[in-house]
Amino acid sequence: MKRKLIAVIAVFMLAVGMLAGCSGSKEVTAKSLLEEVQSNVDKKKSLESKMTLSMEMSGDSLKDYGGSMTVTMDMDVQTTTDPVANYMSGKMGVLGVNMDMQVYTVVEDKKICNYINMMNQWMVQKYDYNADDVNKIDAAGKDLLKNSDSLTLAKDTKDVDGKQAYIITGTLTGDAIQDLLESASSTMGTMLGSSSDIDLSKMSVDIEYAVSKDDKLPLYTNLTFKGMDSLTGETDVTVGNFTMKMTYTGFDTVDKITVPQEAIDNATDITSSLGTGTTDTSAAAETSSDAGVSETAASETAAAK
C-alpha cells in the first residue's frame, strides 16, 4: 500500500468538492430550469456551501488497515471569482480518526496553489492556471444542463428548509461524469492533474438537484457514485458506498479569501509526490508529507483500538 494513499484520496475529494465552488408562465422542464439556474449563477461573484461526504473502500492493498477503509468529510466551503480563490475548512475522517483540515486555493505567479493543512502540517500543490477557465461560479448546473436529456423534473415541488424547491433527478455515466469532474477541477485549476487516472468506464452517478422555486438558485446537490474501482491507482481496491451532498448556503456573501502567512512560509511542496502537478520536490518532501498523513492516522487508529 503506497504511503500517499490518503493524500490522493483527499485530492480527489477536494476536486469533487470544488463542485461547490467555482460553475413567464411557460412550462418548466429540466432543461429550461437548468438554463435559468445557470444564467442566475453566472452573475454571482461568490458562493458559500457545505459539503458532506462518505466513501468506503476495500481490497488487498488496504491490508495494513484491516482490508478496508472509510473516509468521510464535513467541510464548509467559500468561493470567490474576483480574485479567484477557494477556502475549505472542516474535518476529514480516515480509519476512524477525525482530522482537522483546511484548504486555501489561490492563484500565485500564474499557478493554482492549494495550501492544505492536515494534522498541523502545511502542504502546497501547484498547477498550471488558465484564466479563461476560471471566471464563473459553478454549482453543478452547467454540466447537468449539457446532459439534461438524461434528467427528469419531478412533477411536484417539495419543501427544503422552508423553501419550495424543484427537484431534478437522473443518472450520469461515462463522458458526462468526465465533464462533471473536469469542470469541477477547472473552476479552481487542475486539482487532479489528468482525470484519466480514474477509470470511468463502469462508473455512474445518481443525482438529485434541488432548485429554489422563488429565485431559481440551487439549494443542494446529492451525488451517489457507483462502479468506482481504481480511484487510488490500486487495481484491487473496490469503492463501495460513495455519497456526497453539497448544500448551497449563500451567494455573493464572501468578500475576500486570504492565505495565512504561516501557510505561505511553512508549506512543504508535495506537487510531484502526488504525481499530479508540474513542480519538482525532493524525496524527503514526499516522505515528510505523505508518510506523515497516512502513518500518523494509522498509528492513532491502532492506539484507539
Least confident of 36-45, 110-119, 277-286: 277-286
Least confident of 123-132, 178-187, 209-218, 246-255: 178-187
CA gap 138, 45 in Å, rounded: 11
* 268-269 vs 121-128, strand pairing mode: parallel
pLDDT mean over 94-112: 88
Residue with cell 480563490: 85
SS (H, E, C) the chain: CCCCHHHHHHHHHHHHHHHHCCCCCCCCCHHHHHHHHHHHHHCCCEEEEEEEEEEEEECHHHHHHCCEEEEEEEEEEEEEECCEEEEEEEEEEECCEEEEEEEEEEEECCEEEEEEEECCEEEEEEEECCHHHCCCCCCCHHHHHHCHHHEEECCCCEEECCEEEEEEEEEEECHHHHHHHHHHHHCCCCCCCCHHHCCCCCCEEEEEEEEECCCCCEEEEEEEEECCCCCCCCCCCEEEEEEEEEEEEEECCCCCCCCCHHHHHHCEECCHHHCCCCCCCCHHHHHHHHHHHHHHHHHHHHHHC
Confidence of residue 194 (pLDDT cuts 50, 70, 90): very low
Q: Is the peptide bond before 260 cis (omega within 30 degrees of 0)?
A: no
Say if residues 58 and 182 touch (Cβ distance below 8 Å): no
Higher pLDDT, 234 or 212: 212
CA gap 299, 68 in Å, rounded: 16
Please determine, for residue 18, whether its predicted confidence score (pLDDT) is greater than 60: no
CA gap 258, 85 in Å, rounded: 8
Please determine, for residue 104, whether its predicted confidence score (pLDDT) is greater than 90: yes
Say if residues 206 and 243 touch (Cβ distance below 8 Å): no
Q: Which three cell numbers stand for residue 200?
A: 470511468
Chain segment 114-129, per-residue pLDDT in tens: 999 988 899 998 887 7
Higher pLDDT, 177 or 198: 177
Q: Which three cell numbers stand for residue 186?
A: 477547472
**Percent of the chain scoring above 90 in pLDDT:** 35
Confidence of residue 13 (pLDDT cuts 50, 70, 90): low
Higher pLDDT, 62 or 47: 47
Q: Which three cell numbers stand for residue 28?
A: 418548466
Model pTM? 0.75
Chain segment 143-160, per-residue pLDDT in tens: 677 777 889 999 999 999
Domain 5-304 class in CATH: mainly beta
Please determine, for residue 161, whether its predicted confidence score (pLDDT) is greater than 80: yes
Least confident of 45-59, 85-99, 163-177, 279-293: 279-293
The full length of the chain comes to: 305
pLDDT mean over 265-271: 92
Q: Which three cell numbers stand for residue 16?
A: 469533487
Chain segment 49-102, per-residue pLDDT in tens: 999 999 888 888 788 888 888 889 999 999 888 888 889 999 999 888 889 999
Q: What is the CA 136 to chain-centroid distance, rounded?
A: 17
Domain residue ranges of the chain, discontinuous segments joined by +: 5-304
pLDDT mean over 25-48: 87
Higher pLDDT, 132 or 297: 132
